Amino acid sequence: MKTASMAASLLIPLCLCILLLRGASAVSDQQEAGRRDSCDRIDRRIRALEPTRRVDSEAGHTELYDDRDGQLPCAGVAAARITIQRNGLLLPSYSNSPRLAYIVHGRGIVGVVIPGCPETYQETSSSSSQEQEDDERRRRGRRGDEERRRSSEGEEEEEEETSRRSFEQSIRDEHQRITTVRQGDVVAIPAGAPFWVHNDGDSPLVAISVHDVSNNANQLDQTSRRFRLAGGQARSEGRQRYGEGESSESETERGGEESYNILSGFDTELLAESMRVSPDIARKLQGRSDKRGNIVRVRRGGLRMLRPATERVTDEEMMRGANAAAGAGNGIDEAVCLMKLRENVADPMKADLYTPNGGRITVLNSQKLPVLKLIKMSVNRGVMRRNAILAPHWNINAHAAVYATSGSARLQVVSSEGRRVFDGELRRGQMVVVPQSFAVAGRAGDEGFAWVSFQTSDGAMNAPVVGKSSALRGMPADVLANAFGVSREEARMVKFGRGQELAIFSPKSGAAARRRRSPGHRDDGVLAAPA
């Protein structure tokens, strides 16, 4: 009887584990099935995406991109375009998935808080550090004498309160490192890291943001969720702005019009006690009566914060951050805390591929910006002259969400069945997904074309079909002759027709001459139009 009881006690936990594993597997299978269904749809048709929903706030708005035809879910990404008006503040929030943001226009300040890292920017009172140490030593001496005389719990609480107030008076403010951004910058924001953005420029700040919802850091379903730390109800939640039809689940925030910041879900008294503030302050933090939305206007006088003369991490700052992290004992590597989160890809001098009469491409991967190793994403930034040709190629190890920042281009995307699943114009503000291994080629329009491509690998690679270092160039001429049924001389024309050109090809000589005569043409390898 005792043996049977022991067997039963062991069997019950085992059964529970099996049920939990089967449940988790079922959820994973459902997500994978949904993604396969989305990818099956793009095998038939891809289209240029427009924002379908706009969420208005006091000092800006957010536009969410349509994913009804399955492009974004297949690539495992979600996209939004954020516009912050002058002196606007995008309120602090965090997400269940990492993201990359590209600054399309304007400039501003971005603060990304890495949980567990120390606040390396600190403003103290006017007293010297030696005076503070002497005061602290005297307080400790008095505390030792008084503790021997104390007998009541009330006196201990009073001493604790006095010590806390003394600390508050010695430090005016402290926060983690902040970063200034401008047009052409790429900013990496890890999953679960709160961030905020302030537009301190003279024009609107516009950014295109792409979330990698299929990243391993996201343990929820493939829906991008924004967890707001501040703010109240946003305006026009769920309103269709462009196009028709119902929004998919990934386009809407959970909770719809009843969505508030995460602090609003806690009991007011519990929140007040946990922060040591009054219930009135706690209710303000919960923001249930705040109707300004997710982007608010900064009060008169602007934001006041600690900003160094240079953004380069000095030796002193690195040592201060390292010592603070070691002292905190939180297990966070100081290299992560001081990791660079921004890099500019619009500078022509940083181009990795350049064709004088064609254009340029700048690659930003984890070798150039190590934080992308954590994000598991990368970016390509391209600029093409009028009528230049984007060489036929495919992405080896990543999906690509291509966003047009300026001009237009006619793109063609071909599936594994040789079917042209996209054949159309991609204009400024539109987005199209090029799935992994699908072949893509294009031609810039009369105004040229500039784009930024968000890729779902920190070391994304592509393979050109023709041109220098291409698939066909790497094969013997006789192999091509027999494969295509052409003569050996024709096979050599296929291999070497583009000479040493790579990635972006120059147009025909007639088109180039017309471009040189055009009033907007410049010879510095960039578009005359803003990119």
Strands 359-364 and 51-57: unpaired
Spacing of C-alpha 486 from chain mean position: 47
CA distance 440 to 415: 9
The pLDDT assigned to 169 comes to 57
Q: What is the number of other CB atoms lying within 10 angstroms of the CB of residue 95?
A: 23
The DSSP H or E segment spanning 432 is strand 431-434
Q: What is the number of other CB atoms lying within 10 angstroms of the CB of residue 213?
A: 26
Q: Is residue 367 part of a domain?
A: yes
Whole-prediction pTM value? Answer: 0.78
Beta strand residue intervals within 34-87, DSSP E: 51-57, 60-65, 77-84
Give the three-state DSSP class for 519: coil
The pLDDT assigned to 224 comes to 84
The pLDDT assigned to 182 comes to 96
* CB-based contact 448:357 (threshold 8 Å): no
Q: Which residue has the tokens 């602290």?
A: 136
Instruction: Tell me whether residue 475 is exposed, middle or buried, using C-beta atoms within 10 angstroms of its C-beta: 0 to 12, 13 to 18, 19 or more.
Output: middle
CA distance 505 to 360: 10
Q: Is residue 512 part of a domain?
A: no
Which sign, positive or negative, has the C-alpha torsion 479, 485, 488, 489?
A: negative
CA distance 155 to 82: 53
* CB-based contact 413:422 (threshold 8 Å): yes
Our count of domains for the chain comes to 1
Residue type, 462: N
Q: Which residue has the tokens 């002058």?
A: 86
User: Which CATH number goes with the domain that contains 430?
Assistant: 2.60.120.10
CA distance 154 to 164: 15
Q: Is residue 119 part of a domain?
A: no
Q: What phi, psi does 277 have (nearest 5°)?
A: -130, 170
Q: What is the number of other CB atoms lying within 10 angstroms of the CB of residue 211?
A: 30
Print pLDDT tens along the chain (531 aa).
555 555 545 454 445 444 444 543 443 454 455 555 667 667 667 889 999 999 999 999 999 997 666 889 999 999 999 999 999 999 999 999 999 999 999 999 999 998 888 887 777 665 445 445 555 555 565 555 555 555 555 555 565 555 555 555 556 778 888 899 999 999 999 999 999 999 999 999 999 999 999 998 888 888 888 899 998 875 544 433 333 333 333 334 443 445 788 998 999 999 999 999 999 999 999 988 888 999 999 988 778 877 765 555 544 544 444 444 444 444 445 567 888 999 999 999 999 999 999 999 999 999 999 999 999 999 999 999 999 999 999 999 999 999 999 999 999 999 998 999 999 999 999 999 999 999 999 999 999 999 999 999 999 999 999 999 999 999 999 999 999 999 999 999 999 999 889 999 999 765 444 444 344 444 333 443 334
Q: What phi, psi does 300 have (nearest 5°)?
A: -55, 135
Which sign, positive or negative, has the C-alpha torsion 355, 356, 361, 362?
A: positive
Residue 117: name the closest of 404, 330, 283 by CA.
Answer: 330
Q: Any residues with CB less than 8 A from the CB of 105 and at least 6 apart, and which? A: 183, 203, 204, 205, 206, 530
The pLDDT assigned to 135 comes to 52
Q: What is the dihedral of CA 324, 121, 60, 200, to 10 degrees?
A: -160
Domain holding 421, by residue range, is: 344-505
Q: Is residue 456 part of a domain?
A: yes
Q: Is residue 273 part of a domain?
A: no
CA distance 281 to 222: 36
Q: Is residue 526 part of a domain?
A: no
Q: Is residue 271 part of a domain?
A: no
Strand partners, 63: 54, 81
The pLDDT assigned to 172 comes to 72
HSE-up (13 A, CA, CB side) for residue 519: 0
Q: Is residue 299 part of a domain?
A: no
Strand partners, 62: 55, 82
The DSSP H or E segment spanning 190 is none
